[in-house]
A and B are shown apart, each in its own frame.
Chain A
Amino acid sequence: MPTIELINVTKTFNEGKVLAVDNISVKIEHGEYVFLIGPTGCGKTTTLRMIAGLEDPTKGKFLIDGKDVKGIPPEDRDMGFIFQHFEIFDHLTIWENVTFGLEMRGYNDNYIIKEAEKALKTVDLLQYADEYPSIFGNPGLQKLGIARAIATGAKILIMDEPLGSLDPKVSKVFRHELRNLVKDLGLTAIHVTHNQEEAMAIADKIIIMRGGKLLQMGSPYELYENPNSIFVANFLGETNFLQGFVLKLLENEEMEIRIRLGGPKLKTHNFGNKFDLDDNIVIAYRFEDVYLFPEDYNFKNSQYDWSQMELFEVILETSRFIGATKRFYLTLDNNEKFISVKPGNFEENFISGKKLIVGIHKDDIHVFKAPDNLLSELSLS
């Protein structure tokens, strides 16, 4: 069963003038659904092409199941390819599209029929075997692509924007089906997309790249709960970023911080010894981690334990209903602004212009060293 390993892999183009991938190490376990994401030009496609065998690394090692695969062509790597533009043969029937690859590999007829039937049944397309691909919308074509890959015994699926040409609505439905299919078949999948939401919805593991470097790697939950940089916090999900500074270093390596001059003081959880007194910092918390209470809320008589919550006053500017969620625009005394997102049927009907209490759990407050230019760190293009 295939494990894919890149060890200190670097890829340069134009005789070393262009550094596309800069010393990355990645391990992909058998059966994992992995996403490579990052802004345009981050090196994700080059990395995918190296895994597929379409490019050789300039430096470093590339192993499948512990074996160096340098020089082994893509077709001998047990891989199936699915791209945005399908590469389906329009002039062949669904059945012929699947058997074609098997015939090219010189299998006997019995084997071909058995495998093609099995593959088409798996993706639920067997009843269309004699039709031509033109009867399908894009999801059907992608399923055909998967059938073709598994019929030839592919254990690894290489996918470059496979949902890129789908209508957004259709893609949102099909993404769950795609994940279930890949997981049920026990395939290893490596999928490149520019759509972070798609990655969060499907991935077991996400690799975020930027400027050729690997920025962070982990499960969607790990990356979302513990982003290691402002970039990652901003790239996945919706986050408030506020400038501030370290007010006090407390015991247990906790800190007291302040949101800009005149802003509220907050206590953080343990950040190690990463920060010094008076350090300029960026304070980050997710929209949905901002809890709201009426001004006269009685925290003492509540059934919940609020001791780990950092509480402070804000003014509610406006709120906006957007279906599944409702968005609250909040302003601090010192004019800093941020946002809270709650379920659309959130019971409280707060009034614009009124004071509210904000509560943020200590563990949900992330702190980063202030970059030279926060705006450029937050601009993704």
Chain B
Amino acid sequence: MVNIKLKCIFKKFRNFTALENISLEIKDKEYFIILGPTGAGKTTLLKLIAGLLKPDSGKIFFDEQDVTKKSPGERNIGFMFENYALFPHMNVVENISYSGRVHARDSQTTKSLVEQVLMMTLLTRRDDAYPDELSGGMKQRVALCRSLLNLEQTKLLILDEPLKALDAGLRMSLRRELLLMAKSKELGLTVIHVTNDEREAMMVADRIAVINEGKLIQVGSPHEIYYHPINLFVANFMSEINYFDGICVKNKKLEWDIHSKSKQGDKFFNEIQEESVPMPIDIGFENTFAGYLKESLYNKIQDNDKVLLVVRTNHMKIRLGNRVSEKRNAILGTILRRKFMGVFYRFEILAKVDHKDKVIIVTRSATYEIHNAFLENSEVTVYFPKELGIIFEHPGDEIIREVLKLE
């Protein structure tokens, strides 16, 4: 059992506030991701949990036991940090099996465990190499192997950007292996994993904690974080977005029933609608759109209040020609640029919103139809299902610029 609780953690380095009032609970056998941009305080948080740093105030509990003052050794954790810390005078196998000596495990068990992790990380053929002779990615894998062998006591694994230096292909397969291993019945690990890669986070996490500038912004399942981001920062961090300034027009009668279900995938949309309600907003001359917002927010926002509508680029759809009258939440535009990106095409579509030019980004699967028919200068209708429009209170233009790093 490992159940970790952080209560009101503060940490300063001289005048720099690294962490501010962080309270978190990490459950037993949970794969927990700490996600945020460079400098958000992720590694500091991890070091506090590992016991390598002490908080200025606040408490840390492992299974209801206060460990705030305990040393890393007393906390019994397998951890791997960004700089690997391999022993230069030991070869790969020696580095990995070192913990076996510490834990006085019998040599046969150690040997078979070492073989397992070497196979998993494709290192079997380099088992007698010394750290000097390995590439950055290989060193990272050795460090990962070593942390995995440290685990029989607490079953808590702490990983700081464990896959950062690896090539895309290997990173992908190791993510999967990490998850399978953490979830395997024999091991059943609790994992706390720090990353700045949102896709990595969504791929392995049971729950994600998004932090920025030392503050905890949102905690939730990948689904919650992606479909119900708490603010513009989280929305934008999880994938590329479009945003529209709007005015709340709750009481405007629409020609269509705002509560009607979208046609496709009822089940999928039902999941998104949980704890959210639809609301119409005006995004400028004659354009009334609808999106969803948190139920708790609905009564806070009044008619004529400024709001922000956010739509992920991959939730925007496009049709050739002018179909604005047939579709809801639709705008007419022209394909300004298009770029093949592999799985997707990325379109920059020039549209008029509130009499002003606006570039709307749309990403669609690179099907033959998209490849052959959606060419630059084509007239297209851009639209989205209302369930995928996220409405926030308007944070002000300055915050928008800062969050989207427009300068």
* A interface residues with partner B (beta carbon < 8 Å): 39-40, 137, 139-140, 167-170, 172-173, 176, 179-180, 196-197, 200-202, 219-221, 224, 234-238, 286-288, 320-325, 327, 329, 341, 343-345, 347, 349, 375, 378-381
Complex Cα distance, B167 from A378, in Å, reads 11
Complex Cα distance, B122 from A56, in Å, reads 39
In the complex, the answer to whether A169 meets B196 with C-beta atoms within 8 Å is yes
- B267's contact among A140, A224, A349, A381, by CB below 8 Å, is which? A349
- Beyond A201-B341, A380-B167, is A324–B314 a contact (Cβ under 8 Å)? yes
In the complex, the answer to whether B170 meets A379 with C-beta atoms within 8 Å is yes
Q: Say yes or no for B131: interface residue by CB 8 A criterion.
A: no
Closest chain A residue, CB of each to CB of B136: A381
Complex Cα distance, B405 from A170, in Å, reads 7
The 5 A-B residue pairs with the shortest CB-CB distance, nearest first, are A347-B265, A380-B167, A322-B202, A381-B137, A324-B314
Q: Kindly provide the distance from the CB of A62 to the nearest chain B CB, expressed in whole angstroms.
A: 30
Interface residues as binary, B322-360 with A (CB distance below 8 Å gives 1, 0 otherwise): 000000000000000101111100101000000000000
Complex Cα distance, B117 from A34, in Å, reads 40
How many A-B pairs fall under 8 Å by CB? 109
B interface: dominant SS: mixed
In the complex, the answer to whether B167 meets A347 with C-beta atoms within 8 Å is no
**Within 8 Å CB of A236, what residues of B?**
342
**Within 8 Å CB of A196, what residues of B?**
168
Closest chain A residue, CB of each to CB of B137: A381
In the complex, the answer to whether B342 meets A220 with C-beta atoms within 8 Å is yes
- B314's contact among A200, A327, A341, A343, by CB below 8 Å, is which? A343
Q: Kindly provide the distance from the CB of A103 to the nearest chain B CB, expressed in whole angstroms.
A: 28
- Beyond A169-B37, A347-B264, is A323–B172 a contact (Cβ under 8 Å)? no
In the complex, the answer to whether B137 meets A169 with C-beta atoms within 8 Å is no
**Within 8 Å CB of B342, what residues of A?**
197, 200, 220, 224, 236-237
Complex Cα distance, B39 from A168, in Å, reads 12
Q: Kindly provide the distance from the CB of A36 to the nearest chain B CB, expressed in whole angstroms.
A: 17
**Within 8 Å CB of B167, what residues of A?**
39, 380-381
**Within 8 Å CB of A379, what residues of B?**
122, 170
In the complex, the answer to whether A323 meets B170 with C-beta atoms within 8 Å is no
From 147 to 167 in chain B, residues with beta carbon under 8 angstroms from any chain A beta carbon are 166-167
Q: Say yes or no for B275: interface residue by CB 8 A criterion.
A: no
Closest chain A residue, CB of each to CB of B266: A347
From 119 to 148 in chain B, residues with beta carbon under 8 angstroms from any chain A beta carbon are 122, 135, 137-138
Interface centre among A169, A179, A286, A321 (most CB of B within 10 A): A169
Interface centre among B122, B168, B268, B312 (most CB of A within 10 A): B168
Interface residues as binary, B162-199 with A (CB distance below 8 Å gives 1, 0 otherwise): 00001111101000100000000000000000001111
**Within 8 Å CB of A329, what residues of B?**
176
In the complex, the answer to whether A381 meets B407 with C-beta atoms within 8 Å is no
**Within 8 Å CB of B405, what residues of A?**
137, 139, 169-170, 173
Name 18 extra pairs, CB < 8 A, besides A176-B346, A343-B314: A137-B405, A167-B37, A173-B240, A176-B339, A197-B341, A219-B340, A220-B342, A221-B340, A235-B169, A236-B342, A238-B343, A322-B202, A323-B226, A325-B343, A345-B388, A379-B170, A380-B169, A381-B135
Closest chain A residue, CB of each to CB of B176: A329
From 212 to 239 in chain B, residues with beta carbon under 8 angstroms from any chain A beta carbon are 222-223, 226, 237-239
Q: Say yes or no for B365: interface residue by CB 8 A criterion.
A: yes
Complex Cα distance, B174 from A32, in Å, reads 36
**Within 8 Å CB of A40, what residues of B?**
135
In the complex, the answer to whether B203 meets A327 with C-beta atoms within 8 Å is yes
**Within 8 Å CB of A167, what residues of B?**
37-38, 196
In the complex, the answer to whether B365 meets A288 with C-beta atoms within 8 Å is yes
Complex Cα distance, B20 from A117, in Å, reads 45
**Within 8 Å CB of B138, what residues of A?**
381
Q: Kindly provide the distance from the CB of B226 to the nearest chain A CB, expressed in whole angstroms.
A: 5
- A168's contact among B122, B197, B267, B339, by CB below 8 Å, is which? B197
Closest chain A residue, CB of each to CB of B315: A345
Complex Cα distance, B203 from A341, in Å, reads 12
- Beyond A343-B365, A375-B122, A381-B135, is A321–B223 a contact (Cβ under 8 Å)? yes
Complex Cα distance, B176 from A224, in Å, reads 24
In the complex, the answer to whether A345 meets B341 with C-beta atoms within 8 Å is no
Closest chain B residue, CB of each to CB of A320: B203
Complex Cα distance, B343 from A224, in Å, reads 9
Interface centre among A196, A197, A345 (most CB of B within 10 A): A345
In the complex, the answer to whether A179 meets B37 with C-beta atoms within 8 Å is no
- B202's contact among A176, A286, A323, by CB below 8 Å, is which? A323
Closest chain A residue, CB of each to CB of B196: A168
Complex Cα distance, B268 from A322, in Å, reads 15
- Beyond A168-B197, A196-B168, A322-B203, is A201–B346 a contact (Cβ under 8 Å)? yes
Q: Kindly provide the distance from the CB of B266 to the nearest chain A CB, expressed in whole angstroms.
A: 9
Complex Cα distance, B348 from A167, in Å, reads 23
Closest chain B residue, CB of each to CB of A196: B168
Complex Cα distance, B122 from A269, in Å, reads 33
Q: Kindly provide the distance from the CB of A118 to the nearest chain B CB, expressed in whole angstroms.
A: 21
Complex Cα distance, B267 from A380, in Å, reads 41
From 253 to 274 in chain B, residues with beta carbon under 8 angstroms from any chain A beta carbon are 264-265, 267-268
**Within 8 Å CB of B343, what residues of A?**
237-238, 286-288, 325, 341
Q: Kindly provide the distance from the CB of B357 to the nearest chain A CB, expressed in whole angstroms.
A: 15
In the complex, the answer to whether B169 meets A224 with C-beta atoms within 8 Å is no
Closest chain B residue, CB of each to CB of A341: B343
